[in-house]
Structure 1
Amino acid sequence: MGMLQNGVWTNDTPVAPTDASGNFQRAESGFRDWLTRDGAPGPDGQTGVPAAADRYHLYVSLACPWAHRTLVVRALKGLEAMLPVTVVGPVMGAQGWSFAGAFGGTGDPVNGVDHLHQLYAMAGPDMTGKVTVPVLWDMQERRIVNNESSEIIRMLNTAFDDVGARPGDFYPAELRDEIDAVNERVYATVNNGVYRAGFATTQGAYDEAVHALFASLDWLEDRLTGEWLVGERLTEADIRLFTTLVRFDPVYHGHFKCNIRRLVDYPRLRALAERIAALPGVADTIDLDQIKTHYYRSHKDINPTGIVPAGPAVPF
């Protein structure tokens, strides 16, 4: 996977770092400023920058579930014209995420770089850390505002409401405590849980992760007695789960050994995924070819042949 060390790219790091017990360790996001309507500080006092059309740019991978969250909220809020997108290709090579068309990228019309790590080095010349998507880029100040997906979707939820976004609040005040509680469990055992199972390097680490994952999927299936996870409306809890569900049968079930059950064995969760995929603009954010190509060709430690399987057929 590689990383930046003092602003210089190095590929001498494992694809998925683990601790001494074989547990996958996810790196913290390094840029945490906050986009607000008027540039006021973020909810925890983060440095604020004002929302505006034609100022910001979103860098994503169509394969990445974390970046996919931002594309879903962007579509649901109608931000396509105000927040253009650049896409990296699905295969991570020696230079990490690439904008090259030969690797499925769109090129970088904003900064003209070939690889995402060059963008990070522009924003932080002495940075040491992982190079990840999504990236919310400020074209005016030529810097990264934020690269944490859970925070970017909250910014997009409200920041542009005064400059033409569609109405819709996916983090309503009256449901926040319940949304936060669902998010906490889903992140630890489902969103990140599939990675903890797939990148585990000991049997004990894998067993712990995979059983926690399916315990939470069972819990979510039982919880989903209506259309949505929290209250009677679509919230970020549904969106954050959705991008993992989309990838479950095509990737996580086989590639990450999350094979106790499939999504199709959870009728309520499958219906939730289909319901979200049918919302305006959401289907356009799903690219199963790039999703499968990324996982099966980028993770040589797990799939050394790089062969991408033909199936399964899924309703997205």
Structure 2
Amino acid sequence: MPARHVDRHRARAVRRAADILQSEVAAELGVSVSAVANWEAGHSSPDPEKLPAYAAALRVDLDDLFPRAGLPDLADLRCDAGIYQFATAEVIGTKSAGPVAGAERGERRLKDKYVPALAERYGVSETELRRAEDRSMAAAEARKNGTAGESGSQGAAAADPIGPPGSLAEKITLILQRSYPGPQGPPSDAEMAAEVNAYAGATLITGTDFGDLRTGVTDTAAPVVLDALAAVVGVSRMYFDADEAVAATVYEGLQLLAAARQGAVGRVRARGLGERGLSPTAMALVNELVAEMAEKEVGTGK
């Protein structure tokens, strides 16, 4: 799954702007001053488990300082909670971290009895934990089949969560991945908020508000915000509705589009999915997506 992006230059700039000493950061993280200096110099990188404390020491939001474009897997959730793998044994009441390690590697699923304690410690719902587990399993399957790390559309499709997104946060994350492909990734939360406000012609949302929606801190948004967001990213407004069938249809359209990126985007048009294909209504929604994406590609010269 996508690791958090550590920009040493930004971390150093943020620290200096806040007038925080390297020694103060080191003390809060329980590391040496030389460790912090090496991170900022690019000689080494902090453990992913250290990133939450690192961001807190610099008094900024974790997602803002160390962004991750994709959805988290089990290891990502653990690291975002600042927990090393060995420490999960105490969380689930076992002698070793074997159950968690196996699930993170996609070898075997967590037993039901471990899920509540882990979800609580990670600060997520049990559903979110299980969906992260699905991503770990999917990544393991991709490695097994030799498709992990592939470039282009097939690799991107393999990185998607299993099945359609359920929560608003998952819907936003998935559509951002598809609307802004490439190494540069999607715009920042502040930039997305600015685009939404510009489209609406009014200040509806701040960068912090958008970040809360994207990460699941807030699970609902005003209809006018979703209207503007749908227009900005080029997706049907219905995608953000609670109707699971609509979300599934858009998800299928995105998968079809991803599969066609190596060739002509027009191949997706009028295609069905699976043996029975999509209904006429579903295909109309898919083609709306395709048309929007095609316009984006033409506009960016891709």
Q: TM-score range by the shorter chain?
A: under 0.3
Q: TM-score, normalised by structure 1?
A: 0.25
Q: TM-score, normalised by structure 2?
A: 0.26
- Which one has more relative contact order, counting CA pairs under 8 Å at least 6 apart? 1
Q: Give the structure with the larger helix fraction.
A: 2
Larger radius of gyration: 2
Q: Give the structure with the larger strand fraction.
A: 1
